[in-house]
Amino acid sequence: MRKSMKKLAALLLSATLCTGLFAGCAGENTADNTPTPTTKTEQPADPTATMAPTEAPADPTAATEPTAAPEPTATTAPTEAPVPETDALSTYLKDLNAIEVTELMGNGINLGNTMEAYGRATYGVGADTSKYETTWGQPVTTQEMVNGMKAAGFDTLRVPVAWTNAMNYEDGDYTINQSYLDRVGEIIDYAINADMFVIVNDHWDGGWWGMFGSATEVTRNAAMDMYIEMWTQIAEEYGDRSYKLIFESGNEELGNRLNDKDVCADSGSLSEDECYATANKINQAFVDTIRSTGGNNADRFLLIAGINTNIANTCDARFQMPTDTVEDKLLLSVHYYDPSNYCIFTSVEDWGTKQEYQYMNDTLAMLKQFTEQGVGVVIGEWGVLFEGDGVKNNRTAYMENYLDNCDLYGYCPVLWDCNNLYNRYNCAVIDEYKDFFTVRTYEAQSATPKADLQAKAQADIAAATEAAPEAEALAADEAVAWIMYTSSDWGTSYSVGDIYTPGSATAGLVATDVPVTGEGSYTVALDFTGTAGGYANGVTFCAVGIGNGEVLFPGYVMNITSVKINGEEVKMNGLAFTTSDDGTCTRVNLYNSWVTAIPEEGRTMMGKANSYCTPCPIDQAAFGEVKTIEVTFNYVKK
């Protein structure tokens, strides 16, 4: 395969030389003080799960309006006409299979917070496209910016899009304004002109996806009608574009987010099994719709969104890749931001224990089940995101080990970036990573036999993991109780998840964790006064966990007897229940809004958990500015 790929490299080089592309930006503007939001302006997912970030708050435009964003340029026309694809190149791309094209896609980068920026609530659906494009603080995209991405070492550009910015769908009119289609088409052409693959999806898009979880059948049917109409228009509009254009069925919405209430108030009707089944149905409709439009779409490569784009969820047997009318043209899309309190949020500054390396290695290896079936894997978002100078400790080591795993297994990684690591004003990667990605392009790596490339990646992964320090961990015969916590702004957290990780903590936080030896009364606490803010700003998630509780004390119940916030007793408004997600860690949720049904294994002092139980026995409003929290519980054998 590597020899045949070298033939394509010559074709690509020939095509690139014909374009006369520029690697820099005319009229360069470094704009060092311009605010450039790093992450998606979105509400994160359940912090107890290691999942990619999910989507936007109810009014994202209010929260993301830039204070000093540059004015959009007067024109958004491409600086040069699209470069026609040679017949030889088109035939070559068409004849590749999903694994081969994933290799050719190399490293990628997202055009983040740009065409998926949701300005509809502010501008309606008929505004100039630059209004939407810049509403989350990004500049108007230019050919020079995209050329710079290619020069910086990226072979693929992912363009997230919010199509309902230009659609009056509430009235049953699913027509996308032509000006919006034209603008996305220009950006597609920028990427193809720059000799890049380009991915286009439907990305959060105001949360209309929650219509699929409506309690009303008419609304659910309308959601599918809208989805099919949307993709029919997109496919027909860009059907003659190069095979380097890849359509993606969704973002993080195909899964639990089908129950979101952003748009649909009566959403939330789908069980977990039904979320899987509905996501599978949507993905099948996507493939059928694109193929039905003919032309290059009849055998174009298509990218299928996994469940929540979470690796573990997608590797669940309930997720099924759609059937296709052509062979070996489907790719899988997942995201990787683990652990999220390090990768996305400011609450944890450090990464790099042996256990954290091993978790990354094991998680990414799970995706082999797809490549072994001939499905290419695209990790459509990843990264250790940061604002300004807020670079996380060991960030480069994290990125190197992640990319080594992608080299080992043949995945295409697509970095999430919103004008931070890649500066769109001077069209270059920041100095710290100036040459970091150029050595991982397809062109650079194709000079090395694939087996040698994989052997080096495997050796580097093993060496890095072996050299990493051991994390503080529980022995097999040891149980410890602690408070899991994530603040409402995700800026403060402590040991969230089923594995006891006291090192995963906001700097300055003091935890009182206690050994558990059997029946008795125990008190655990967190003190946030030593953190930078001096308190935890509200709560997103709070629970008491006992590491190894299910193993050492099976069937025991944690009966909460006291919760004190800032020294004051807090009234519980419902019955807490004891449960376990992994069969190892025992947990009682104090505030967990992601639990929508009482689990079968839930238990209380009175027996099995029932309708009187709640995963949120403490009102969210009771938390406020939390300087300290203290929880006392009786541990009782049942």
What value does the mean pLDDT take over residues 339-349?
91
Q: What is the dihedral of CA 264, 266, 267, 272, to 10 degrees?
A: 180
| Tokens representing residue 184 in the block | 């996305």
Task: Residue 501: give the domain boundaries.
Answer: 480-636
C-alpha dihedral sign at 140, 137, 120, 173: positive
In a domain, 102, yes or no: no
Q: What tokens were used for 109?
A: 């980068």
Q: Where do we find the tokens 């609304």?
A: 219
Are 186 and 299 members of one domain? yes
Tokens of 606: 């009175």
**Same domain for 285 and 381?**
yes
> Residue 355 domain-assigned?
yes
Question: Is residue 86 one of the residues assigned to a domain?
Answer: no
Does 1 fall in a domain?
A: no
The number of distinct structural domains making up the chain is 2
Say whether both 383 and 450 belong to one domain.
Answer: yes
Both 434 and 530 in one domain: the answer is no
281 and 155 co-located in one domain: yes
**Both structure tokens of 542:** 């709070």
What angle separates helix 450-467 from helix 354-365, to the nearest 10 degrees? 150
- Same domain assignment for residues 304 and 430: yes
Among 68-72, 198-202, 355-359, which is the least confidently predicted range? 68-72
Flag whether 87 is in a domain: no
Average pLDDT for 27-45: 41
End-to-end CA distance of the chain: 61
Measured on CA atoms in the order 485, 383, 582, 549, is the torsion positive or negative? Answer: negative
Q: Which of 409, 440, 467 is the last residue of a domain?
A: 467
pLDDT in tens, 383-441: 998 655 566 899 999 999 999 999 999 999 999 999 999 999 999 999 999 999 999 99
Structure tokens given for 33 = 């003080």
Residue 611 lies in a domain: yes
Residues 371 and 502 in one domain: no
Mean pLDDT of the residues in the chain: 89
The residue ranking higher by pLDDT, 17 or 385, is 385
Three-state DSSP class for residue 629: strand
How far are the Cα atoms of 73, 113, 127, 170, 297 from residue 162, in angstroms, in the given order?
21, 10, 14, 15, 21
Is the pLDDT at 8 greater than 60? The verdict is no
Are residues 463 and 493 both part of a single domain?
no
459 and 316 together in one domain: yes
Q: Reply yes or no on whether the pLDDT at 161 is more than 80.
A: yes
Does 334 lie in the same domain as 205?
A: yes
Q: From CA 149, how far away is CA 25, in angstroms rounded?
A: 11
CB-facing half-sphere around the CA of 495: CA atoms within 13 A: 28
Q: Is 305 helix (H, G, I), strand (E, B) or coil?
A: strand
**3-state DSSP call for residue 422?**
strand
Predicted confidence at residue 360, as pLDDT, reads: 98
CA 377 – CA 103 distance, rounded (Å): 10
Of 418, 435, 467, the last residue of a domain is 467
CA distance 617 to 430: 47
- Choose the final residue of a domain: 420, 435, 467: 467
Asked if residues 243 and 190 have their Cβ atoms less than 8 Å apart, the reply is no
What is the distance between the alpha carbons of residues 381 and 333, in angstroms, rounded to a whole number? 9
The token pair at 568 is 């004051």
User: Residue 265 contacts by C-beta under 8 Å, 6 or more apart in sequence?
Assistant: none
pLDDT tens per residue, range 73-130: 333 444 467 777 777 888 899 999 999 999 999 999 999 999 999 999 999 999 999 9
Which of 245, 241, 272 is closest to 258 using CA atoms? 272
What are the residues whose beta carbons fall under 8 Å from the beta carbon of 83, sequence distance 6 or more? 15, 18, 19, 192, 193
Residue in 360, 408, 367 with CA at minimum distance from that of residue 384? 360
The number of beta carbons lying within 10 Å of the beta carbon of residue 352 is 19
Please report the DSSP string for 450-500 in residue order. HHHHHHHHHHHHHHHHHHSPPPP---TT--EEEEEEE-TTSS-EES-SSS-
The 10s digit of each residue's pLDDT in 508-553 is 999 999 999 999 999 999 999 999 999 999 999 999 999 999 999 9
Q: At residue 205, does pLDDT exceed 50?
A: yes
What digits encode the pLDDT tens for the residues 462-499? 999 999 999 988 999 999 999 999 999 999 999 999 99
The DSSP string of 76-118 is: ---SSPPPPPPHHHHHHHHH--HHHHHHHT-SEEE-TTSTT--
Q: What is the pLDDT of residue 600?
A: 86
Q: Are residues 425 and 484 in the same domain?
A: no
Residue 430's CATH number: 3.20.20.80
SS3 579: strand
Q: Are residue 499 and residue 443 in the same domain, yes or no? A: no
Domain for residue 618, yes or no?
yes
Residue 90 lies in a domain: no
Cis-peptide, bond into residue 339, ω within 30° of zero: yes
